[in-house]
A and B are shown apart, each in its own frame.
Chain A
Amino acid sequence: MKELKYVGKSLVREDSYDKATGKTIYVGDMKRTDMLYAKLVLSEKAHADIEIDRSEAMLVEGIEAIYTHEDVPKVFYNSAEWYPGIKGIRDELILNNRARFVGDRIALVVGSSKETVEKAISKLKIIYKELKPVIGLKQARKDEVIIKENTNLAFSKSINVGNYEEALKKADYVIKDIGTTPKVHHAAIEPHVCLAEFDYQGNLVICTPCQVATQVQMHVANVLNIPLNKVRTVKAVMGGSFGGKSQPILEPIVAFAAWKLNRAVLLYMDRTDVITGTVSRNATEIAVETAVNKEGKILGRKVEVRVDGGAYNTNASNVTMALGKKLYRLYDIPNQTFEGKAYYTNTLPGGTCRGYGSPQGHAVTEVNIDNIAKKLNMDPCEFRLLNLVDEGAKDLTGAPEIGNAKIKECVKVGMEAFNWKEKRDTIKNKSADRYAYGVGMACGTHGNGYKGAYPDFTNVDMRIYADEGAIVKIGVHDLGCGTITTLKQIAAETLDINMEKIRITEADTFVTPYDSAGTQASRVTYVCGGAIKEAGKKLKAKLINAFCKLKNVPIENVETANGYIYDKNSTEEHTYGDIVTEYEKHFSESMSISLEYKSPANPASFAAFFAEVKVDKYTGLVDVIDCLAVHDIGRAINPMLVEGQIQGGAQFGLGMALYEQMKINKNGDVKSNSFSKYHIINSTSMPKVKIILIEDNEPYGPYGAKSVGEMATVAPAPAIINAINFALDTNITTFPATPEVIVNEILKKGI
């Protein structure tokens, strides 16, 4: 293979200069002449009818408007839908007169400054007529109090492959586990924020750190009943999302205010607003039973999942099914039944969150896998190696093929590098009175886009300019991961133009070509990167053709290098720009191309995560001493950025394993409503994550690449729990394993 110049290199991100100097303008930093500030008023009760007396608040100097339910359009929508073809259950309104969770939107206050707005909020008289709240899955299932219509059951579906009941009959052992995973706050350090204004062309502009600009456009146009092509969503710099800014939460309401007032309005949230008033990872209860024979082969598995969907439908069906489908893509299980149910509760709605169902699904099933190995007296890695999918495996549910699956290699390489066998055999010798040591591991899988489930294509316009520079117009969203740099590397490689000479757009619905599904579902490098590679290939062919025609050179003699094109038998050199201009002059055509790229496949990405822990038996505190992530990534376009994803993903996973959960009491009050009460891992509790990348070329990925960002957050949590269970000889299946959980388990066992 020709040596690559850009792909595979740890190149520095262009945007990091401005970020390192504080010059980058995030939406919260934006100012407009005559701009107004707005803040939402969020319900303090989980379930209540609301009356608001705003008379006194309106008297605050500088207050422009206070909107409540009565003032806004009553158009129901489902914020999780990203194109009109998804006909979900539409039960959200931009402002409510019945609150269904603590944090539900009940009013919007708009004024000349933040101070003014906050002063007015403190003067609002809110009368809550409380209803009984439904908190937690157990209460939801009882259907004694019903949140909407006639049942709290929001969704129910199963997936069946083979015949689990038959498998049970043949099994030597059946290993059962029940576990729970928490609601997790995304905790992007940038709080949600959004600016709406009119531009000189009459567009209602929504400037927002979003993941799917067309989704914002669709909801705003729908709620305000204005044409789609008059709503312009501009993707702003993103101060972190992880799925939390994927569903439009602020956009429809701030658009309404700007539209009503014909002024620029900036809607901001503080941390408590973000924790209580946006979305969270869905909490789950998972029951798994696995039938195995004594040789160590999984014969069948049944997984029942109950998802806490929160107060609105949002992604209840999608996340439940996404969770279920992943369970068919990691192990070769001929008979498997998945039953998924989602319920409404009076807690904040579920939303997309890094890994989308995979972290929850794999959490409990990976602990179960360890328990099977234990039962069979096998090493958990060896047991996995007997059952993990192979290269070219089919997804038995009929979903797209699994692709070049290298998970077995991940496990083998990881065992070696982590010194697994020896550690597993000897680590417990280190345990003394107070401290118990253990090692554990887990595997996980995630996808590469939507193919097989939803339309997955993107449009791209690419042009080479007269000065050799190129522009790539595509509707992507850099969420902070360095997407633009990655995509530039792909463009530079295919066009053979210096990276500094390439510019790539982010989504702007008035300007950039259509993209079917936005920056979610781990689809950008794989699908949008694939599109850029395809466009680059075609554009370069066009350039070469033009050169041949203009200079009368046979195509086999043409060579390019860094924006130069030449006949290898001649000393004459031409810049791409020369050819672009000459071509325009003689053939009346531009050096550009537009294409629509349909994702050709949806393979699985994989990872194995190994961890060593030290558990303080007195306090229940866990120290992760060492960890290793081995990723089947196809090819790393930019290894430095890939490592950043894996390290950040591990931090997310460690949080889910040990600390992070939204604490909601029986009244629905959110106890963990600030960073002092919701702990994300800081520098002193984060171990260094060692990384090994398995790069074995995913056939349809651009230069062989596949996804990593979401994948990285799947395996760490169960690996840590497995390590704790090994250290203590327990069977913890509760995530997170907080000190309380661990101490209880220790007391129960009397160790």
Chain B
Amino acid sequence: MIIKLMVNDKMVERDVDPTKRLLDFLREDLNLTGTKEGCSEGECGACTVIVNDKAVASCCVLVGQVNGDNILTIEGLEKNGELDIIQKAFIEKGAIQCGFCTPGMIMSCKALLMKNPKPTVDEIKRSIEGNLCRCTGYTKIIEAVQQIVEERCNNE
């Protein structure tokens, strides 16, 4: 089946089996290996990407289901050589250890900030409750997003 979709602002058109998981399509067909697989059942969030402004687990979505949709992956956050504000905050705050959860974690935070530019701590926590991290205890991840919110408030 011919699938047409936007991936990181680029039109992609491929002839693929529509029952292929979106995760595999990204990693294998498009070589976007930033999106990770940790559980294959929607529990760990390592495979999180943004589909039409919403964070979804790409291991639980078939590529046929996102035909015509707009997909954003970790590779698409950097714009003109400039990192996304969330990427910067993660780096500065030490929110990254082994880094395996990081792409999914950042995409969940991105989806949150897209619809809610100044989330509370509880909202931050809830937005990443489906993203497991075994290294950090989440503290620095939450602080990274808080830092963005604080800066936004200060700049008003």
Q: Which residues of A line the B interface, CB within 8 A?
A: 10, 12-13, 15-17, 19-26, 28-29, 186-191, 237-240, 242, 270-271, 479-482, 640-641, 643-644, 647-652, 674-676, 680, 682-684, 686, 688-689
The docked-state distance in angstroms from the alpha carbon of A271 to that of B42 is 12
The docked-state distance in angstroms from the alpha carbon of A405 to that of B125 is 37
Residue of B nearest to A680 (CB): B132
7 contacts between A and B (CB under 8 A): A21-B77, A22-B34, A189-B38, A271-B41, A675-B44, A676-B43, A688-B139
CB–CB B129/A684 < 8 A: yes
Determine chain B's interface SS by DSSP, over half rule. Answer: loop
CB–CB B134/A482 < 8 A: no
Q: Which of B41, B98, B126 is A240 in contact with, Cβ under 8 Å?
A: B98
Closest Cβ of chain A: how far from B135's Cβ, in Å? Answer: 5
CB–CB B135/A20 < 8 A: no
CB–CB A686/B134 < 8 A: no
- The answer, yes or no, to whether B66 is at the interface (CB within 8 Å) is no
The docked-state distance in angstroms from the alpha carbon of A22 to that of B38 is 15
Determine chain A's interface SS by DSSP, over half rule. Answer: loop
Residue of A nearest to B108 (CB): A683
Contacting A at CB under 8 A, from B35-63, are 35-41, 43-44, 46
CB–CB B39/A674 < 8 A: yes
CB–CB B36/A13 < 8 A: no
Residue of B nearest to A244 (CB): B134
Collect the chain B residues with CB atoms within 8 Å of residue A644's CB: 94, 97, 135-137, 140
The docked-state distance in angstroms from the alpha carbon of A643 to that of B106 is 20
Residue of A nearest to B20 (CB): A115
CB–CB A16/B137 < 8 A: no
User: What count of chain B residues pass the 8 Å CB interface test?
Assistant: 53
CB–CB A189/B140 < 8 A: no
The docked-state distance in angstroms from the alpha carbon of A482 to that of B58 is 29
Collect the chain B residues with CB atoms within 8 Å of residue A20's CB: 83, 87, 90-91, 96, 99, 102, 106
Q: How many A-B residue pairs have CB under 8 A?
A: 169
Closest Cβ of chain B: how far from A275's Cβ, in Å? Answer: 10
CB–CB B34/A21 < 8 A: yes
Collect the chain A residues with CB atoms within 8 Å of residue B132's CB: 187, 189, 675, 680, 682
Q: Which of B36, B92, B96, B139 is A647 in contact with, Cβ under 8 Å?
A: B139
Q: Which of A19, A271, A648, A684 is B38 in contact with, Cβ under 8 Å?
A: A271
Q: Which of A238, A641, A675 is B41 in contact with, Cβ under 8 Å?
A: A675
The docked-state distance in angstroms from the alpha carbon of A608 to that of B93 is 25
CB–CB A647/B83 < 8 A: no
CB–CB B92/A24 < 8 A: no
Q: Which of A22, A188, A481, A675 is B32 in contact with, Cβ under 8 Å?
A: A22
The docked-state distance in angstroms from the alpha carbon of A374 to that of B132 is 38
Residue of B nearest to A690 (CB): B139
Closest Cβ of chain B: how far from A239's Cβ, in Å? Answer: 3
Residue of A nearest to B93 (CB): A640
The docked-state distance in angstroms from the alpha carbon of A28 to that of B103 is 15
Q: Which of A19, A237, A643 is B140 in contact with, Cβ under 8 Å?
A: A643
- The answer, yes or no, to whether B150 is at the interface (CB within 8 Å) is no
CB–CB A22/B33 < 8 A: yes
Known contacts A10-B94, A188-B98, A188-B100, A271 near B131 by CB under 8 Å: no
